[in-house]
Chains A and B, each alone.
Chain A
């Protein structure tokens, strides 16, 4: 197995403006699309798969650095969603590479004001954990261990398989009815570069 690490992206966020100034920067906003947060850091710093009882499982480490605004938004009640997107495809020389496996593992992070705890919830399993600090919660989110990817029997021995992982971070409203307003807030969403390596069985 060989790993080739790729760089993570750094994204910029928009600064909130004066209400009437919206009109002036309106066209730029619409033309440029969502502007990435400047100081949100999201990078896959390491990932690998290993065989565990006939199933390939993923271990991945992420670097997450949220700006103060995003932390305040979480404390105010917004929900942070982090998706791990994992794709595996067979590498072929002349023909298009067919997808072998594609998986999205999602997590949500929210603040529970009554218990003063940060709630981590897996969107795939519904499991919930709580930690006492945001740093601990982000630390918990930034590490994935033993995530089942594909049954080893589905991979043919010999051919190379390209495995890639990236993380997508978004901030959203708990009730979706207000999510359209996030269009008008600072955008802390971020998408990391793909972390890609080749795997041979």
Chain B
């Protein structure tokens, strides 16, 4: 059995024992009130026990009431209901108890008064007077007889025993005594039924005899019955003063004495009870009052106890409900009864159990959803495709890392911001946001489109698909933008196409060039000697032109062939700074003759890169040639070659930048300068930068061309130094390469 159960059992036992004790005390008090002699001496203690019980009950009740008031003021749950129930129960119990008490007191008071009504008192008084009258008649007779005896003794002048005995017998006295006024017995005559030794003559007899008055009294006997004591001065009633006194004691008839005793006893008992009437009423009323108070306090205590028992499950329910509201679904209420309240408690427990199971299911589902979401987030994060989720009001809900990478802005900082209008004014993010907003603003919620933007680094082509997110209503719950930067892919496709063109040129055009040239030279050789001078000059110019153009075409085809050729790359550690120095030294004299300065700024911390030295040399050669050609005819030309060790995406890269202060790239061609046959120069094949980009991509690097803010062009190349960076770069480009490599093969 648990501790609360033990405590409840102990409390119940204490209440039962206390109740039995008080009930016993009340019964004992009632017994004492019913003249139960054995309990008379215990009356104060019994009363004290009752009062102690009263005090204990009062203290318990006061404690409960104080607690109730405190709960009321503290707005404790259920305190108001409990107070109302206590009040109702208490009043319902108090009213009948008070009513019964009032009438009981009235009946008791009037009943006791009726016991001592005037008629009974008067009857007893009359009986007493009547008894006295009857006895006084005899007393007067006996006094008269005593006076005759005294006269006789006075006349005879002697107190001889014979005369005294005769007079006693004649008068019927039990005892006849002649004594002096000081009490000394002179003569005595006694009947046989009396004691041998006579009693002293009482002082009051002597005193009255001294005054010359006769004395007569009725003397009750201890064993019942009466004697009549008479005394007169010796000398009789004539008033003669004498120092002698005659005392005669007469018996009272047994029957008369018994009746007188009965009257006396009744009178005495009545008088005694009449005297104790007020205490009797007070004790009865007090007993009743104590019982009333005990009952009343017990009723109030019972009301509180009952209310508490009734309210407790409600309080438990409210507490349980609050606990459930705060998320504590492990709340279990004690089932204390099997009535409707017990059913309610059982239902509550069942409800919390179901809720707990539902919450556990929900938690499991939520956990699964979280896991799925985490997996999705990982997938999204690892995707090379940009994904941006938008709210219905086009605020960014989430974006993956690839989106930030493609758009060139860290989108995590823009979560919650409107997608349109973000980023730099000419930036890719701003252009992309506006483009998406315009499509969505036009009411197009599901579309797929290829956007071409001019960003600072050049032309960017984004393939974007928009899909509305499901929502509860008709309005979409948001949008998902899935986009990819297909600039490189398109570039690769173009390169592949150009490679094909180059191979066809090499195959279809270069092969006929030699027969054409040989045919032209043969024609010249065979026909010129037989022609006239005019025709010979014409033939010579014609064949010379054919040969020159064929050579030009041959050079062009060779250039294409070089572009399309799949070189054999031999990777080795290359000191980039040294390579730049060697190459720029070759150009330094050349450009100096054209009035162009060549500046080299090398990063001494730049470590060796793993690359094909010959290809890198060609790369630098193409860039320097481009720069020199761009500065032709421009005074004050300046070329700068800069190397730098830089950090990119957590890895190190070797950066090579070739700058000039020439006219720069045409703005509309900035994004296409690496395409074959894109050139702004009057001469040239337009393959220089295309070959540069190919070499860079062969090394897993990146290249970009831009116009410098202060004029001129800048081509910047990044070559990965670390394996990871290198691998990542290659991997990022990988989707575009297989096709290209196949084409080259």
Contact = CB atoms under 8 A, between A and B. Distances in A.
A158 interface: no
A15 to B, nearest CB: 12
Interface string B42-56: 011001100100000
Given A113-B271, A114-B132, A117-B217, A26 B51 contact: yes
Contacts of A173: 272, 276
Interface stretch (A46-54, A96-104, A128-136, A149-157): A128-136
Contacts of B220: 112, 114-115, 117, 119, 128, 130
Nearest to B289: A23
Contact of A185 (B131, B263, B271, B276): B276
A114 B127 CA distance: 10
Nearest to A140: B203
Given A19-B286, A114-B128, A179-B40, A73 B268 contact: no
Interface string A55-89: 00000000000000000110011100000000000
Contacts of B135: 114
Interface in A11-36: 16, 19-20, 22-23, 26-27, 30
Given A30-B44, A176-B40, A180-B39, 14 more contacts: A19-B285, A22-B282, A30-B47, A30-B48, A76-B274, A113-B128, A113-B271, A114-B264, A115-B217, A117-B217, A127-B222, A131-B204, A180-B40, A181-B279
Given A173-B276, A185-B276, A180 B128 contact: no
B264 A112 contact: yes
A106 to B, nearest CB: 15
A71 to B, nearest CB: 12
B268 A174 contact: yes
A177 B279 contact: no
Contacts of B48: 30
Q: Which of A27, A112, A113, A114: most chain B CB closer than 10 A?
A: A114
Contacts of B204: 131-132, 136
B219 interface: yes
Contact of B43 (A117, A126, A132, A180): A180
Interface residues of A, number: 41
Interface in B23-52: 32, 35-37, 39-41, 43-44, 47-48, 51
Contacts of B524: none
Interface of A: 16, 19-20, 22-23, 26-27, 30, 72-73, 76-78, 110, 112-115, 117, 119, 121, 126-128, 130-132, 136, 173-185
Interface string B254-278: 0000001001100111111111101
A173 to B, nearest CB: 6
Contacts of B269: 77, 174-175
Interface string B286-320: 10010000000000000000000000000000000
Contact of B271 (A16, A19, A76, A136): A76
Contacts of B131: 114
Given A112-B264, A114-B135, A114-B263, A78 B272 contact: yes
Nearest to B199: A129
24 contacts: A20-B289, A22-B282, A23-B286, A30-B47, A30-B48, A77-B269, A77-B272, A114-B135, A114-B263, A114-B264, A114-B267, A115-B264, A117-B220, A127-B222, A128-B220, A130-B219, A131-B202, A131-B204, A132-B204, A175-B272, A176-B40, A179-B40, A180-B40, A180-B283
